[in-house]
Structure 1
């Protein structure tokens, strides 16, 4: 089976969900900004970053869990989209009883880690922050391996589809993820997970 990495579409979200439900395990699809996109398979460093972030969150906020199994989110306000963040922070057991695609209500933070591909600029730095802001997710964390920075987006404006505040720190500095997350990260270890 050949899957196109990107295809501009006028398809209904229900049609996308039907296609996504039949995809093989080796393919992960998203529907963002009217496009079907294949999400890159994470490399080992990508997975280590998510594991590290899970540990930090568990240590400081044992009431929360960073779901990193490709939890599907409905990013409705953004062209009836469907996204699979690299991580979704919510209360433990928040997604119990949910299907493949969950409403973003109750999600405290969406996490993305950049991949080394040509779509990173558009997908991870533009479309995903806009989608998560439009969905009202309070905090979006972008671990930008190309730039060697951690970007924290806060104060979503769902009407306009952007985050009002953006805070960037280079790997090696400490960053605090604000309410409702309340986790402080020493980002020095991230230097080990870049090319």
Structure 2
């Protein structure tokens, strides 16, 4: 049985495909969100700089927590999906011993930085907020390089985030508890096209 012949993509088949795709083409990352196979482009230099900057902000706020870059998580309560987050903010040591696709328990904030690709709107603005809310991740931070805005999603109700705060790059935004610190977004203006 193959995926194409049967029209079925199981968790095990996805993980095998993801392992082979990463070895075959380092420019792509596979995800399995909302029961759909997706492809995520490898981040560009500005994308990486944003993650570095955000990591520094997180460490200054609390050195006992870390922003894990490119962390793979098992997401969604009943659809069994996998997402590779640009950043997963959690206590240091949260993912030790868990392998490539970790349990989301302990993730305080999911972070995504938009890429300049055709799937960004659907993936980062629609599917991932829903999947992270269903999973119960308390905060979803979207750094949107296309709109030059930061969106802070919070208060997941198991279906969606009840609160979404949007600020333009250059403003300060409060990341609600359990993250609990302010983020000055002025530097983000330096890393957009």
| TM beyond 0.5 | yes
Partner of residue 129, structure 1: 129
Q: Give 1:114 shift.
A: 0.5
Q: Give 1:24 shift.
A: 2.9
The within-5 A match list for 1:14-25 is 14-25=12-23
CA contact (8 A) 1:85 1:110 kept: yes
- The structure with the greater share of residues assigned to helix is 2
Aligned residues: 184
| C-alpha RMSD of matched pairs (Å) | 1.2
- In terms of mean alpha carbon deviation, does 31-40 or 161-170 score higher? 31-40
Pick from 155, 179, 182 the counterpart of residue 180 of structure 2: 182
Partner of residue 4, structure 2: none
Q: Match of 1:36, SS? A: strand
CA distance in 1, matches of 2:14, 2:104: 18
Partner of residue 4, structure 1: none
Partner of residue 42, structure 1: 43
Partner of residue 11, structure 1: 9
The within-5 A match list for 1:69-148 is 70-77=70-77, 79-148=79-148
CA distance in 1, matches of 2:127, 2:76: 13
CA contact (8 A) 2:76 2:132 kept: no
Render the CA deviation track for 1:102-151: whole Å, top value 9, x for unaligned: 11110000000001111111001000100100000000000001111000
Q: Match of 1:86, SS? A: strand
CA contact (8 A) 1:78 1:131 kept: no
CA distance in 1, matches of 2:124, 2:41: 12
CA contact (8 A) 1:176 1:184 kept: yes
